[in-house]
Amino acid sequence: MTLGVVVFPGSNCDRDVQWAAQGCLGIETRFLWHEQRDLSGLDAVVIPGGFSYGDYLRCGAIARFAPVLEEVKAFADRGGRVLGICNGFQVLTEMGLLPGALTRNQHLHFLCEPAELQVEPGRCAWLQGYSSGQRVTFPIAHGEGRYQADAALLKQLEQNGQVVLRYSRNPNGSVGDVAGLTNAQGNVLGLMPHPERACDPATGGVDGRALLATLLG
């Protein structure tokens, strides 16, 4: 099992993901520089949090054109497992792998705090280690995490079981309390909270372990 972790100029959670996966769970990780295209030997890919390309223009708007993401999209289209965390979720919406958009938080403040979430795994491969309705706590750290979708799209996502993570107490004004989405096939997951920061008891809480541990079978 080898996990690829994409690194852009401005990424700052790539090593957090490496520690959570390799340091805490023994999952081999390989960094993928934004200019490379070789995904050979990888079983899954994570697009981590941070500020890709300084978040200029719009969060994820420049990153979506990175050569590595052309290969990540093809990998996902073949059924490969892709996880986007925080800025990675923003990138996934810009790429069109997940619908909707992430915008400025409702009160225009950067939020850095624990967030309680309700999990509805459905068909999402990344969440099979959790039970339906389970409550978990992951940290959040974002200024532009407010999920936006029109009423028709939100209804479709809910009917399809694609809203797999919801905030128990909505911190940012996301429609439908959306904290995380999966695609229709269940192999792509995007979420604003940080599961990789909830894997080591030394940093507080291990609720995120079950997400990455699904890679171990």
Q: Which residues are catalytic?
A: 86, 194, 196
Question: 77 is written with which tokens?
Answer: 């289209």
* E strand residue ranges, the chain: 2-7, 28-33, 44-47, 81-85, 101-103, 111-119, 135-142, 146-148, 163-167, 178-182, 188-191
Give Rg (Cα) of the chain: 15
- Written as one string, the DSSP assignment of 77-106 is HTT-EEEEETHHHHHHHHHTSS-SEEE--T
Identify the H or E element spanning 75.
helix 67-77
The Cα 146–Cα 144 span in angstroms is 6
